[in-house]
Amino acid sequence: MRIIIVGGVAAGMSAATRLRRLSEKDEIIVFEKGPFVSFANCGLPYHISKTIKHRSQLIVQTADDLRSRFNIDVRVNSEVTHIDRDNKMISVNHDDQQEKLYYDKLILSLGSSPVIPKIEGLHTQSNIFQLRNIPDLDNIMSHLDESIKTVAVLGAGFIGIEVTENLIKRGFSVNLIERSNQILPNLDIEMAQSITNELIKNDVRINTGTTINKVSRDILYLDNGMSIQADAVIIAAGIRPNSDIAIAAGLKVGPNKGIVVDHDFKTSDSNIYAIGDVISVIHQITEQETLIPLAGPANRHGRQVADAIHGLSIKNKPEIGTSIVKVFSKSAASTGINEKQAKQLGLNYHVTHTFSYHHASYYPGATQVMMKLIFTNTGDIIGAQAVGNEGVDKRIDLLATAIKFRLKVDDLPELELTYAPPFGAAKDPVHISGYVAE
């Protein structure tokens, strides 16, 4: 069987290696538009400050490694431009040469791209950047020389915030611009406040509730009437799925342009599968179609689609969207839905806020975790957020597990967790949020 994978990073490469483990016989070909496969998108912001010292550390496996270790035919700089579903053929552009290839099964792991807002003057400027892949990073790194003093970051989601932190660490003066009235819109505003304070403490200038109207040379004109000087602008204002070739081939997409797939990751064509950022997923809490562009789900999809192609029993389950961001000495994490979404959905919900130490208060170094729990009248946990210096990841990972496996708030005090004074508390912050909610 010939299986062609389009897109060779998180989801695509995870599918390719799992397919090889499941069968030595299949012919597996991966086409990647860019020059690199299997690179660490999530690490890109940290090379700006050289926290990740060498660019080479971001390249997890090369095309040659994959060929020799797994007998996977990896072809970089090869863009798939067309899918001919009737004849099960794809067209590929490589070095301006067109090639057509037959597939038995096709996996689309096309990822997503940054949304570049329509802003007057933006496209005529050479100092505007995005960060999605290694060439984008190279572009930023080669531009950020001694002549650059000020940088603006458009978008205060987790990528914008990570970029901001690393620019500050590198010594730039940074203006962060966010259209909504708070940074990190996945959090509720009172939870985001402590991260806002942390950014301000580290000299980030924050401009919320506004966006860029016009760019002229190094001046950004904001829609609140202010203007900002910036030698460079990095855009991190959300993403859109790279579903254009799927749409052109008539595959079904959702309202968010994510490719619609079934429980086996099959698209509306039974020989074509789709995984990763490019698919529309069902949210476990809202039961609505949404996009959850995160690395964990993308890697899982990759493994599961290979299993599905080999007839193993899997289920593309609804997702909850769990994420975390480090912001200087603090972290912020969330899972499930936030209170703004609960309100919009008209749910009958309750909220608790708790402040408790990440490990025994008497053991040196204890810091407070601020937690928010959102749950329904029936005790179903529908969302959680945490902010603090330490232990935020552990609490949200626990609550994400609780939500995923449908525990109720009164199950939380029952969790039997590791405890010794350097690690936690006999009454962990998660227990306390459960007690308060009961």
- Name the residues that contact ligand FAD, by CB under 6 A: 6-7, 9-12, 31-34, 41-42, 44-45, 79-80, 109-111, 131-133, 159, 242, 245, 276-278, 293-296, 298
Task: Identify the CA nearest to 51 among candidates 169, 168, 220.
Answer: 169
- DSSP state letters, 224-282: TS-EEE-SEEEE-S-EEE--HHHHHTT--B-TTSPEE--TTSB-SSTTEEE-GGGEEEE
Q: What is the C-alpha to C-alpha distance for residues 132 and 248, in angstroms, rounded to an integer? A: 24
**Token representation of residue 109:** 């792991």
CB 69 within 8 A of CB 60: no
Residue 94 or 408: which CB sits closer to ligand FAD? 94
Calculate the CA 227 to chain-centre distance. 30
Contact 371, 381 (CB under 8 A): no
Active site residue 213: no
Least distance between ligand FAD and beta carbon 9 (Å): 3
Minimum distance of ligand FAD from residue 398's CB (angstroms): 18
Q: Which residues pair with 5 in a beta bridge?
A: 30, 107
DSSP reduced 3-state for 178: strand
Q: What are phi and psi of 385, to 5 degrees?
A: -140, 150
List phi, psi (to 5°) of 83: -120, 120
As measured in angstroms, the least distance from the Cβ of 416 to ligand FAD is 28
Q: Among residues 136 and 190, whose Cβ is nearest to ligand FAD?
A: 136
Listed residue (240, 244, 238) closest to 79, CA to CA: 244
Identify which of residues 38 and 352 has a Cβ nearer to ligand FAD in the complex: 38
Closest approach of ligand FAD to the CB of residue 226, in Å: 27
Closest residue by beta carbon to ligand FAD: 276
**Cα radius of gyration rounded to whole Å, the chain:** 23
Of the candidates 22, 40, 42, 436, the residue annotated as catalytic is: 42
Question: What is d(CA 116, CA 233) in angstroms, rounded to the nearest whole number?
Answer: 12
Q: Which is nearer to ligand FAD, 111 or 424 (CB)?
A: 111
C-alpha span between 339 and 195 (Å, rounded): 18
Cβ closest to ligand FAD, residue 222 vs residue 392:
392
C-beta closer to ligand FAD: residue 246 or 437 = 246
- Token look-up 């179903």 returns 380
Q: How far is CA 268 from CA 107, 247, 358, 437, in A?
A: 13, 11, 47, 43
Nearest approach in angstroms of CB 59 to ligand FAD is 12
Q: How far is the CB of 21 from ligand FAD (least distance, A)?
A: 18
CB closer to ligand FAD out of 296 and 421: 296
- Looking at the Cβ atoms of 43 and 318, the one nearer to ligand FAD is 43
Strands 232-235 and 289-290: unpaired
Shortest distance in whole angstroms from residue 84 CB to ligand FAD: 14
- Minimum distance of ligand FAD from residue 10's CB (angstroms): 3
Measured distance CA(239)–CA(139) in Å, rounded: 19
Backbone conformation region of residue 34, classed left if phi is above 0, alpha if psi is from -120 to 50, else beta: beta
Cβ partners under 8 Å of residue 118, min gap 6 = none
- Read off the tokens for 175: 């203006």
User: Which of the residues are catalytic?
Assistant: 42
